[in-house]
Structure formats: C-alpha cells, structure tokens
A = this chain, B = another copy of it.
Amino acid sequence: MRVLFVGDVFGDPGLRAVAMHLPDLRPHYDLVIVNGENAHHGKGLSRPAYKKLREAGADLITLGNHAWDHKDIYDLIQTEPIIRALNYPPGTPGKGYWVLEAQGERLLVMQVMGQVDMGLNLYDPFRTTEALLAEVPHDYALLEVHAEATSEKYALGHYLGGKVSALLGTHTHVQTADAGFLANGTAVQCDVGMTGPIHSIIGGEIESFLGRFITQRPTPFKAASGRAMFCATELVLEGGRCVQIRPMRWDEPE
C-alpha cells in the first residue's frame, strides 16, 4: 500500500500548490492524507478549502490546534472524512481516527496532539493512542503527531513499541531531515513540513508576524501570499510494516 501524507496546507498558496501538484502524484498512491488545519487563510478548514483538497485527490483531511478556528468545521466534521486530534476531551465533535482501505487492507489513521508547549491541556497522547490501537482492528497504523517538541514525537514512537507502522509529525511547518526507522520498526519523521507560501514566517505574512515578536502587542494575523512549496512524505506499507519513508518537496515554478 502506497500512502502520501501532505503537510499542513497553508492558505491560498497552499491550496494552489495542492491543486497544481497533487493530481500528478495521485495516481502513484493508494491513499492520500492531507493536513488541512491552516487551509482557510492560515486558520482552520472551511468548506471551500475542504472541497479543493478533496478535488485534488485527498482521501482524508486531518486538523490540529487550528481545528476550530473556522466555524465551518463544526458541520464538516460531522459528515466528511476529517479527523481532529484523538486526545481532545470527551464530548469533542468529530473523530480522532479514521480507517481507510486500499488493496483489501485497513490503514488506521490517528492524530494526537502533543502536550508540550501547545498552549492546550489535552489528554495523555501516550495511553490514548495505545488504547485505540488495541481497540480498532487494522492492518497498518499511521500516527500523526501534531506537536512542537521533538522529544515528545520521538518519545511516542518509542513508547508504542512498533505498534504503529509510521509516525509523522506536523505543526512546526518545517520539514525535517530525519526520516528513518526506529529500532522497533516504526518509520518516523519529526515533521512533514508545510505546504504553503515560501516567503513567509511559517506561512504567516512577514511584517505582521514580525510585529508580534517585536512589539509584544496583539497584531492581526495574515497569511502570506506568493509562491508555495509543497511538502509531503511517501510511505510504502508492505508485509505488515512500513518499508519505505520518503519525504519530498516541490516548489511552485516562478
């Protein structure tokens, strides 16, 4: 089973890059999963953004800490193939996992949010993930860890002891160069990277984002515009495990 995971799609540049590049890649994969937490102008997922991601070939959309920024999500998440983090408290709308199927095999896709430096107090991602893995039948499992700290991402990979085929980090918006395998067999990459505007501060417009740092006063958030990069990671799942993990980056032509 060949799976493509596309990192945090950010604003119109990100949506444009997905529309341009994903259709070319789509035929080479059985399943395509896209993180869409920043698709609506950098903040959350809206219905038009959702439609664009699906039309470009996404089978499942994942969210993150920006999940609830745009109110459309409260409808979309009831009916569409969209997941938010699994470790939100009881009563949270939507689901924290989804089972996709390809070639007669089931891929369990889960997202958890980290607890370190995320400004949120979500439930224990370690035991929550472990419990779900025991509960939901699957042939392969992919865990997206939407988190800040590299230590927490690696800790989860080691904790789960090979029970997930692959662990892919998101949220920092910077692709990491560590794609590889843990000793327990789990494929890991700390961050898939962003699919969004290159000339930006992690997607945000430079002047307004700088304002936050420089003034320490509230500044309006703006998504940057301009050429986009497309960051994604390919996973090949075979014989009960991930046998290949390959990050990729494509830049919109000038």
Contact = CB atoms under 8 A, between A and B. Distances in A.
A68 B217 contact: yes
A115 B216 CA distance: 12
Contact of A193 (B91, B177, B209): B177
Nearest to A175: B177
The 9 closest A-B pairs by CB, nearest first: A115-B121, A177-B177, A117-B117, A175-B177, A68-B217, A150-B174, A154-B201, A174-B190, A150-B172
A123 B123 contact: yes
A201 B92 contact: no
A127 B90 contact: yes
A11 interface: no
21 contacts: A68-B217, A68-B218, A91-B214, A117-B148, A120-B216, A121-B121, A126-B213, A148-B148, A150-B173, A151-B202, A151-B209, A154-B202, A158-B201, A158-B206, A158-B210, A159-B210, A175-B176, A176-B176, A176-B191, A177-B249, A183-B199
A121 B127 contact: no
B193 A178 contact: yes
Interface in A146-160: 148-152, 154-155, 158-159
Chain A residues touching B, range: 35 or more
B122 A216 contact: yes
Interface string A73-109: 0000000000000001111100000000000000000
Q: Give the oligomeric copy count.
A: 4
A139 interface: no
Contacts of A202: 150-151, 154
A57 interface: no
A151 B121 contact: no
A124 interface: yes
